[in-house]
Structures are given as structure tokens and as C-alpha cells.
């Protein structure tokens, strides 16, 4: 992926300079290069979101040219005219998120997000749910899922102590709603979803990043296990996200936090036992992941098949 990003960047520079890119047939492959660039930009978006917008991360310099990051300027009262526009504009907002944002920056992002939310509610209100086809229903459910995903992340930045692992308990109700929207967005609420459990591949950001985030931050035992069950029982690949892999890491987070105790609510998990962050490292030719879990006492490193 890293080499691919550099190759595409080099090829596009040659195209912009007016250089010829083609094979022995004499047919320019510029349209193909642009298509590949678009696909790599999608993966780059997923990588950038996965590293929390950390511009100091070693991957940031590689993917930044693919993303062409810029601040989003929104009209005082933006309007949405299509599901695709709603999705693209929400994703642009998500790309402005940084874990290390100042309070002023996070509040400014919150204002832009609130404007998007108002526009989305107005756009969705124009549709009668009963008149929507299954594809549009799933698309709206995915938007509702990511709406809550981004809302929680922005709200967490505005807390007095961003490092307090118990603050995520404030949004248990939203986490519960996210599970329901993930089920609908993934088409897992239909009668034959379980019977026809075939592997699914999507290039776009879908339900997996939100479900992994939910299962690692929500300490309600029922809600987080429902999220993991969705990932574990469905073979889904969304760009860089793999459902089985995400479920394995999430289950390990639960094991570290709950231990041998019977947990009935998030209040039963001590702050000192809570996992702050998860870092996953993998090479292209290894059969295991090196996973780091940040606890109160420091990082714990483990290998996961």
C-alpha cells in the first residue's frame, strides 16, 4: 500500500507535467491511473481515520497527498440534496478530527458537525421511510451509525479530562443505538441474512470501524458483546477492515478489562483496568498481529494469530 501510494503520486506528477504514460499499444493509461488513485484515496481515508488523524504517525506523510486534506468550510445553513452528498460531507468532517485538537478546534468542528446534523435531519425528513427501497434504508442507517460515531468522538474531545477512560459511559445509549443501525446498515436484519452468510467485500468505510470503536469503548457488557457478535458471525472485509480480525482484538480488550469477574454494567469495570488505546501492527508476510493495549500501568504487547 505504501509503495502503491508513492507510485501513484509519481505517475500523477508525470501526468500533470504533460508526460506520456502508456504501453506499447500507444494508448494512454491516465484514466486507469486516476481510477486507481481514487481507490487508494478510499483506503487512505480509512487509514487516516484508524490512526485518529494523527499527522505525526509514520503513515501520515504517505497518505496525506492521496487525501489532499483541507479544512471544511460550511455555509451557515448547509443543505443536502442526496445520500451521496450527505455521506461525502460527513466523511470530510470526520477527516478533520484529530485526537490532539485544541478545545477551540474541537468546538469549531462541533459547530460544523451540528450544521451537518441539522441539514441531514431536514433532508431525511423529506422521505417517507415506507417509500424507501432496501438500498436507501441501509444507506440512511449507515449515515445514522457514523453520525453517532463522529458525535461521540467530538464530544469526548470537549470533556474536562480527555484521558478519563470512564467518560465513554456517558454515551451508552448512543452505543446501543449504533448496534441497531449497524445491523440495518449491514443488511443483517433480513430473514435470510444468517442463512446466506457469504463473505462480503466493500471498498468504502462501512460498519466495522464503528463497531470496533463501540466494542472497545462501551463497557456495557450486553451492548459491546452484540457488536462483537456481528463482527464474528459475519465474514466482512471493508477496505482495510476485516470483521474476524477486529472481533479478535475486541474480545481481547474485554478479557483484559473484565478478567474473571462477572460484569453486569459498565460500573463494574474499574478505571484502572480499562484499556485506553489499541495499536495494531502487522507486516505483509506474517501470520500474526502484534497488538498493543494501553492500560493505566502502560502498554501490554501481545501476538495474535
What confidence score (pLDDT) does residue 223 get?
Answer: 98
Query: How many whole angstroms from its chain centre is CA 218?
Result: 16
Instruction: Say how far apart CA 1 and CA 223 lie, in whole Å.
Output: 34
Average pLDDT over the chain, rounded to an integer: 87
What crossing angle do the helices spanning 208-217 and 243-258 adopt, rounded to 10°? 10
What confidence score (pLDDT) does residue 32 get?
Answer: 83
Alpha-carbon dihedral sign for residues 102, 72, 84, 241: negative
- pTM of the predicted protein model: 0.86
**Residue 207 neighbours by CB distance under 10 Å:** 33
Q: In what order do the strands lie in the sheet with 289-295?
A: 277-281, 289-295, 298-304
Instruction: Say how far apart CA 279 and CA 151 lie, in whole Å.
Output: 22
Instruction: Say how far apart CA 244 and CA 304 lie, in whole Å.
Output: 12
Which residues sit opposite 237 in a β-bridge? 201, 242
Which residues sit opposite 236 in a β-bridge? 200
What confidence score (pLDDT) does residue 189 get?
Answer: 79
Instruction: Say how far apart CA 73 and CA 69 lie, in whole Å.
Output: 13
> Which band of pLDDT confidence, cut at 50, 70 and 90, is reported for residue 282?
low
Helix (H, G, I), strand (E, B) or coil at 291: strand
The answer to whether 8 touches 66, Cβ cutoff 8 Å, is: yes
Instruction: Say how far apart CA 277 and CA 110 lie, in whole Å.
Output: 23
- What pLDDT digit, counting tens, does each position of 121-156 carry? 999 999 988 889 999 999 999 999 999 999 999 999
Residue 169 carries which DSSP code? G
Angle (CA) 241-175-84 rounded to 5° is 55
- What pLDDT digit, counting tens, does each position of 69-90 carry? 555 556 667 899 999 999 999 9
**Strand ranges (E), 84-218:** 200-202
265-273's contacts with Cβ under 8 Å and 24+ in sequence apart are: 265/220, 265/221, 266/166, 266/169, 266/172, 266/218, 266/219, 266/220, 267/169, 269/219, 271/164, 271/165, 271/166, 271/296, 272/296, 272/297
- What pLDDT digit, counting tens, does each position of 188-198 carry? 876 556 556 78
What confidence score (pLDDT) does residue 122 get?
Answer: 96
**Residue 30 neighbours by CB distance under 10 Å:** 16
26, pLDDT greater than 90? no
Helix-then-strand count for the chain, H and E: 10, 6
Residue 203 carries which DSSP code? S
276-297 mean pLDDT: 83
Amino acid at each position: 500500500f505504501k509503495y502503491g501510494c508513492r507510485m501513484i503520486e509519481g505517475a500523477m506528477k508525470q501526468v500533470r507535467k504533460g508526460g506520456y504514460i502508456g504501453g506499447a499499444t500507444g494508448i494512454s493509461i491516465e484514466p486507469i491511473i486516476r481510477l486507481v488513485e481514487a481507490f487508494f484515496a478510499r483506503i487512505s481515508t480509512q487509514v487516516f481515520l484508524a490512526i485518529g488523524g494523527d499527522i505525526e504517525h509514520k503513515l501520515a506523510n504517505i497518505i496525506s497527498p492521496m487525501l489532499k486534506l483541507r479544512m471544511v468550510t460550511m455555509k451557515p445553513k448547509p443543505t443536502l440534496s442526496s445520500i451521496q452528498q450527505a455521506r461525502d460531507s460527513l466523511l470530510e468532517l470526520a477527516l478533520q478530527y484529530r485526537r490532539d485538537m485544541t478545545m477551540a478546534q474541537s468546538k469549531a468542528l462541533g459547530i460544523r458537525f451540528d450544521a451537518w446534523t441539522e441539514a441531514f435531519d431536514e433532508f431525511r425528513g423529506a422521505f417517507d421511510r415506507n417509500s424507501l427501497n432496501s438500498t436507501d434504508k441501509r444507506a440512511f442507517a449507515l449515515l445514522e451509525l457514523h453520525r453517532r460515531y463522529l458525535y461521540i468522538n467530538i464530544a469526548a474531545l470537549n470533556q474536562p479530562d480527555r484521558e478519563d477512560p470512564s467518560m465513554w459511559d456517558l454515551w451508552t445509549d448512543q452505543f446501543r443505538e449504533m448496534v441497531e443501525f449497524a445491523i440495518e446498515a449491514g443488511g443483517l436484519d433480513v430473514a435470510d441474512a444468517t442463512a446466506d452468510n457469504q463473505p462480503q467485500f466493500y471498498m468504502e468505510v462501512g460498519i466495522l470501524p464503528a463497531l470496533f470503536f463501540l466494542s472497545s469503548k462501551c463497557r456495557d457488557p450486553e451492548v459491546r458483546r452484540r457488536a462483537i457478535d456481528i463482527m464474528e458471525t459475519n465474514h466482512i472485509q471493508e477496505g482495510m477492515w476485516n470483521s474476524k480480525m477486529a472481533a479478535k482484538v475486541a474480545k481481547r480488550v474485554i478479557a483484559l478489562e473484565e478478567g474473571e469477574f462477572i460484569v453486569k454494567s459498565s460500573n463494574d469495570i474499574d478505571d484502572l483496568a480499562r484499556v485506553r488505546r489499541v495499536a495494531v501492527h502487522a507486516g505483509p508476510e506474517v501470520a500474526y498481529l502484534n497488538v498493543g493495549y494501553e492500560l493505566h500501568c502502560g502498554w501490554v504487547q501481545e501476538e495474535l494469530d
